[in-house]
Amino acid sequence: MRSICFAATVNLAVFMGSAALAQSVTTYEDCIGLLQATPTSALTVADNWFANGGGDAARHCRAMALASLGSFSEASLTVEELARTTTDPATQSDLYAQAGDFQMAAGDPVAARRFFEQALALEPQSFVALDGRARAAAAQRDFAGAIADLNRLLWLVPNDAEALSLRAAARRQTNDVAGALADAQAAIAADPFSAVAYFERGAARAVSGDREGARSDWAQAEQLDPGGEIGQLALTNRQRLP
């Protein structure tokens, strides 16, 4: 599955011109490198860098550190503040989308959806924002809304396996079993190693009464995602089949 936390690709060129830098950090890349090694240290360094003139680059690094530490709501607030102060529409859209990703990780699809809508108002064909709003809609059980966004997304990128898998799930929830099966099969064709695609084809097959097909697909999902969320869900579903 696409990463919830860091799915938005932000154009940070507008953040890179800070004048005075903290002694322990000279670039945004340095700060992110620390984040990947030791998130707690990165948070401290980002705060020090900001205090010493690191500007928006330091603020964004702080948001990423907060997200790595699980403080998704605070990370979202920081990124939202950055979005409000930047003047570049593409960067602003990316930042709003990232704020939405963080809110999804925080378990608040309502707030997330608002951010994705702000991102789409600036960049109507943003893949990340369409994908995010579809996931937020699905989390709110607005499956029709999710399908509408995924239709737009798949018009832009026809063979995206994760989008096809998500639309398969949404269609299954609206009792469009044939559509769900077609999307899941297309997802497997696009990415034969996608655990979620096999999971969704198994789910569609189970609903249609094809228990053996469902067992086979869920077993494949387990193999592709051993110990992962999808693999565990596939195992549970397979064991529950009569």
Q: What percent of the chain has pLDDT over 90?
A: 75
Q: How far is CA 174 from CA 61, 123, 138, in A?
A: 41, 29, 11
Check which CATH number belongs to the domain holding 225 and give it.
1.25.40.10
Q: With respect to residue 29, please indicate whether it lies within any of the assigned structural domains.
A: no
pLDDT tier at 53, thresholds 50, 70, 90: confident
Does residue 206 lie in a domain region?
A: yes
Q: Which of 63-72, 115-124, 135-144 has the lowest mean pLDDT?
A: 63-72
Global pTM reads 0.85
Residue 2 lies in a domain: no
Question: What is residue 43's predicted lDDT score, i.e. its pLDDT?
Answer: 84
- Angle of helix 89-105 relative to helix 72-85, nearest 10 degrees? 170
pLDDT at 204 exceeding the cut of 70: yes
With 70 as the cut, is the pLDDT of residue 203 above it?
A: yes
Residue 160: is its pLDDT beyond 60? yes
- Is 49 within a domain? no
Residue 231 within any structural domain of the chain: yes
Would you say residue 181 lies in a domain? yes
Q: Is 164 helix (H, G, I), strand (E, B) or coil?
A: helix
Q: Confirm whether 234 is domain-assigned.
A: yes
- Domain total in the chain: 1
**9 domain-assigned:** no
Average pLDDT of the segment spanning 208-216: 96
User: What pLDDT, on the 0 to 100 scale, is given for residue 12?
Assistant: 47
188: containing domain? 177-242
